[in-house]
Chains A and B, each alone.
Chain A
Amino acid sequence: MRVPILKQGPYLIASIQDALTDEDLAQLQQELVARVGQYRTRGVIIDVAALDVMDSFASRTLRDLAHAIKLRGARTVIVGIQPDVAFSMVRLGLSLVGADTALDLEDGLALLEQHV
């Protein structure tokens, strides 16, 4: 697994370290959805601060992931979208509907604390 997934209290934190191939992203998707059940997780944070590009495949994968996790009864927060990446997503017409977003890990955890 290229993306380390840490368990912190009732939450799972996946922090992407480097550019990911489509296969890596698909693997992360499966892995996280499975672990939500394994750890009875209420919230998942995905830190994408290391991603310098979020294209249509990556945003669809994150969207689907958040949706699947919601169906499993947990909440997903995507944190760390870089300014240039946010701008390019807007220009491309990409969104992450279904997933919450927060500025960074700290804000992401605070968001989960409020809602979970």
Chain B
Amino acid sequence: MAAETRVPIRQGGDIITARQAGRAVAAQLGFSSADQTLIATAISEMARNILMYARCGEIILRPEQEHRPGITIIAADEGPGIPDIQRALQNGYSTSGSLGLGLPGTKRIMDEFSIVSEVGKGTIVTMKKWKY
């Protein structure tokens, strides 16, 4: 399996490309189909955030096999950054007119989730899902 897969996010179709790539990596790692769907959905949410707030960025898919099998997904952009991460993680909070469920929902469905963001520099979301 490739050490990592990078999917550039620049337009709407790239969201689909990224989530399909994520599902394929998760399937190769032996994740259940329910988990594959959760992983694909999480990627879809993060890729859309990149497009909506930063216009472009990338999704990096990294299989974890050494200690504990799983997948690491990184959503990175050089957009405007998130001024208040705590608020961004609250259900129903949105600055774009969306439902504000994407970020908090995604955090809920992944096993590990962290955001590093600097205003004016960009945002890096790192999330992991373990196989068991």
Contacts and interface: CB of A to CB of B under 8 A. Distances in A.
A92 interface: yes
A21 B12 contact: yes
A21 B15 contact: yes
B106 A84 contact: no
B114 interface: no
A52 B12 contact: no
Interface stretch (B35-43, B55-63, B81-89, B120-128): B35-43
What is the interface of chain B mostly: helix, strand, loop, or mixed?
helix
Given A52-B40, A53-B19, A56-B45, A91 B98 contact: no
Contact of B16 (A19, A87, A91): A19
Given A21-B16, A23-B12, A84-B33, A53 B108 contact: no
Question: What are the 8 tightest A-B residue pairs by CB atom distance, in nearest-first order?
Answer: A92-B105, A21-B12, A84-B37, A55-B44, A56-B102, A56-B101, A19-B16, A91-B109
Interface of A: 19, 21-23, 52-57, 60, 83-85, 87-88, 91-94
